[in-house]
Amino acid sequence: MTHARTGGAGHPSPHGAQDAVPDAAVAPVGSVRRIARPRQRERPAPLYWAAMKHIGVLTSGGDAPGMNAGIRAVVRTAIHDRLRVSGIYRGYQGLIDDDIVELGPRSVANIIQRGGTILRTARCDAFLQPEGRAHAADALRKRGIDGLVVIGGDGSFRGAHRLHAEQGIPVVGIPATIDNDIYGTDVSIGFNTAINIALEAVDRLRDTAASHDRLFLVEVMGRDSGHIALHVGVAGGAEAILLPEDVVPADDVADMIVAAQDRGKSSSVVIVAEGAYEGGAMALQSAVKARCGYEVRTVILGHTQRGGSPTTRDRVLASRLGFHAVRALQLGAADVMVGIDQREVVRVPLADLERNTKDIDRELMELATILAI
């Protein structure tokens, strides 16, 4: 990917051009002192957009652990940078209903460790229509909100892109979905927590599978994408990993399991993404049961994968992206998502997200097959 790299963590200076002072070892910049870089490593100084005075933040679509850490980062970065910040409840629905509250640094105290979202989230049909989006933009203008941070998934970003295109509202998206299926970012908020929760369940099931010569089909979330299944499958040492991106006929799955028995395996765990089969893992169970010699059990992890305290990785990710989203708005960015490309924060046009899909890691899939011999 070749997306724009974002600037660093220094305080935004209204005198952008003075940001890098090459000749002094330590140069004063406003109230902040920073070490000057050698001339050859100078980067263009950021020009902060003085027009941005008040931003809004909302969470939309499916909830994901770490959204609260993202809200906290947005609110505190904004206040640190002397912006006003308002929280919008229940995603786009709250915009249309004008369910908006101004937040302070203490409004987001003690939430970094909590799953879900204190701003709540919703799916909003009215926002699918241009009239709904016009209504939402009016609510923002009425409150003097100049820019919006949207924490959500693909659908939320489609809405944000249209809000910007039709109404000129600057929007910056923060990717948050346990499915990790958003193009333009290596990882999204909530994915790491979800795979760890699912993996813990798989480890427990493996103990009982081994004790009883059983086959466990474990269904994990992922209607259209297999990122969760693939990571959990590799980390959990699965016999097979079944993904919506690469549907394997049920008979072939049964063949794989029988072959594993012939190689001396006495129990197996198969990870099934919910969208890998019509009817999910339960449908697969009936097809496989008749063919293999194990007792077959199906476990559907379902929404347990969404809840719980976010992992360190998700909290740090959400803190970084929340910070950079606010800085991006101040730099005049609009209609972009902040994401991660090989550990660096990048800005990706929201239009690119609509044109592209994120494939699963094919190398990881190949590796999983080799390691299951």
Q: Which residues bind ligand ADP (CB under 6 A)?
A: 60-62, 92, 123-124, 127-128, 152-156, 158-159, 162, 177
Q: How far is the CB of 182 from ligand ADP (least distance, A)?
A: 8
* Dist CA 121 CA 132 (whole Å): 17
3-state secondary structure of 180: coil
Element (H, E) at 321: helix 312-330
Which amino acid is residue 50, in one-letter code?
A: A
* Dist CA 79 CA 219 (whole Å): 43
CA triple 37-42-46, angle to 5 deg: 110
3-state secondary structure of 220: strand
3-state secondary structure of 71: helix
Q: How far is the CB of 274 from ligand ADP (least distance, A)?
A: 15
Calculate the CA 314 to chain-centre distance: 9
Picking from 36, 29, 33, 34, the residue whose alpha carbon sits closest to that of residue 14 is 29
Q: Which is nearer to ligand ADP, 48 or 127 (CB)?
A: 127
Residue 179 appears among annotated catalytic residues: yes
Q: How far is the CB of 333 from ligand ADP (least distance, A)?
A: 20
Q: Which is nearer to ligand ADP, 76 or 358 (CB)?
A: 358
Q: How far is the CB of 62 from ligand ADP (least distance, A)?
A: 4
Q: Which is nearer to ligand ADP, 156 or 311 (CB)?
A: 156
What φ, ψ does residue 310 adopt, rounded to 5°?
A: -65, 150
Q: Which is nearer to ligand ADP, 61 or 87 (CB)?
A: 61
Q: Which two tokens stand for residue 94?
A: 């709250």
Give how far Cα 240 sits from Cα of 85, 233, 236, 306, Å.
47, 7, 11, 23
Give how far Cα 179 sits from Cα of 63, 168, 219, 275, Å.
11, 30, 14, 12
Q: How far is the CB of 93 from ligand ADP (least distance, A)?
A: 7
Q: Which residue is nearest to ligand ADP (CB)?
A: 155
**Sign (positive/negative) of CA torsion 201, 243, 278, 295?**
negative
Q: Which is nearer to ligand ADP, 116 or 152 (CB)?
A: 152
* Dist CA 365 CA 204 (whole Å): 23
Within 13 Å of residue 355, how many CA atoms lie on the same side as its CB?
Answer: 5
Q: Which is nearer to ligand ADP, 156 or 305 (CB)?
A: 156
Q: How far is the CB of 92 from ligand ADP (least distance, A)?
A: 4
Q: How far is the CB of 55 from ligand ADP (least distance, A)?
A: 19
From 63, 81, 146, 179, active-site residue: 179
Q: Which is nearer to ligand ADP, 68 or 330 (CB)?
A: 68
Active site residues: 179
